[in-house]
Structure 1
């Protein structure tokens, strides 16, 4: 690890209080909380098919990331001689691969592939690179973690893009059944505490998407800035109420966490769209 440690030390040789704050901000652009703000914008105001695609890809990416972290069990550089590690609250579990980097590559890779515009490419690549650099600057990941995260994120993007070519003709009931079975099977294969949350949300997002499409028929519309902003504020408030409120009410444990994230997924794809349609 000496060579990789040398890379981190070189990057940190430029450290300053201003850069500390900058990279703490940047690293949060690859956090779960940021995606909870970004994905609803697509689902509620731009394109709900794009929203469900981003949700599915990100949650499956998180599943793969947690699994690989536990299998490889590589310690983080935190505590390594000569490396300064800050904002360690953003560094849970093992080191390889970087979840922030993998998630950013997955989400922005899909966005870039969908829009194919120069400005989107510039923005997406800049965020991926900056988030990756932030994990090294903060001293919470090795360079190999960053490389692994980018490669895995890219593979997930390629799989998602190519999956779009297939048309599935199963009935709605079969799709609903699969929306439950697939996450449960993945949970049984790897019953990690984080997987309870991610698979709960994935199942609910899929179910909500199918039920909303059949019973509600919500379609994002360009209704002007004020109405769009009001819609987003209402939706985000519901997210916050479920994410924070239920955490304080429900007892600690995997089942409670799974129930909370299940409701988050259901609110994203069915609850909020139903409320928007009524309003």
Structure 2
């Protein structure tokens, strides 16, 4: 049954659908989602940004753990009839689909946060498009996409109300962010050291390590913001655009550190970059760029 579904998409493939599937797949990738979340955090609503970001991080971390446990092969590595496309995004094992999990968590959390019928419909369409694109591209089994959809939506729906209440209590939010950030940052750092030493499976744990240190840096940033910064998202449209572009330039600069970190230190370099991106987005940029807020 799963092979039949994948063969259907292979048989209808054409250049237009290839381009469309690549665009849809990008809607569930980290670059797009991170840019969207920081726009909410910096320019629109800190509480909603915290809830959406947390829901997505919980989902993606759970997905990474499942991938490391199940270690399912991807369809294009098993079926000669399936030609995988956009393989640069097909890192790690297959179950569950990371793109689908990310999209399902992000867009469902977005819909819950804003409670607008039109946005809910658009979010549902986005989730379906991302999941379907991964089948069309031949990089996931249908069960991977279904699992990612259930995981992402379930965690966001279950966590959103609790995270919203947590945000209202500044002291509890500070303690929660500091404790969770410290724990997952240490766990991710240990995993990075093990990966660098070649002691654990790179395919199983590389993406999980990046998620853990990104989360760790992000939550330590949330703790810093709650304790010291307390910025405002108000401002004119022009001011918000400048604020967003300046902060995004910082994210891109951190990502560009990859160009100067020796490839022999790839995992330790990745640990540094992803932790810094999380900390920059939620705490450091609001602190040093407060005049733009």
TM-score by length of 2: 0.85
Matched, 1:115 2:117: no
Distance 1:149 1:274 in 2: 35
- In 2, the alpha carbon distance for the partners of 1:174 and 1:19 equals 45
Residues 55, 202 of structure 1: 8 Å contact kept: no
Aligned equivalent of 1:69:
67
2:278 maps to 265
Structure 1: distance between partners of 2:165 and 2:230:
23
* CA distances 1:161-191 after superposition (whole Å, capped 9, x unpaired): 2423755654946752443125435776997
Partner of 2:228: 215
Give the Cα separation in 2 of the matches to 1:238 and 1:147.
35
1:148 matches 2:147: yes
What is the Cα deviation at residue 73 of structure 1? 1.7
> TM-score of the superposition, structure 1-length normalised?
0.89
Cross-structure match for 2:90: 91
How has the CA–CA distance of structure 1 residues 106 and 81 changed in structure 2, closer, same or farther, with 3 Å as cutoff?
Answer: same
Describe the shift of the 1:256–1:160 C-alpha distance in structure 2 as closer, same or farther (beyond 3 A): same
What's the CA shift for 1:82?
A: 2.4
1:1-279 to structure 2, matched below 5 A, reads: 3-79=1-77, 80-164=79-163, 167=166, 170=172, 172=174, 176-185=178-187, 192-224=205-237, 226-244=238-256, 246-251=257-262, 252-279=265-292
Q: Distance in 1 between matches of 2:153 and 2:95?
A: 16
Aligned length, in residue pairs: 275
Give the distance between the partners of 1:62 and 1:216, measured in 2 at CA.
27
SS of corresponding position for 1:196: helix
State the 1:23 CA deviation.
0.7
Superposed displacement of residue 38, structure 1: 1.0
Instruction: Compare 227-236 and 103-112 and name the one that shifted more.
Output: 227-236
Deviations 1:32-79, CA, capped at 9 Å, x for gaps: 111121111111111122222222222232222122112212111114
Comparing 135-144 and 67-76, the one that deviates more = 67-76
Gaps of 5+ in 1: none
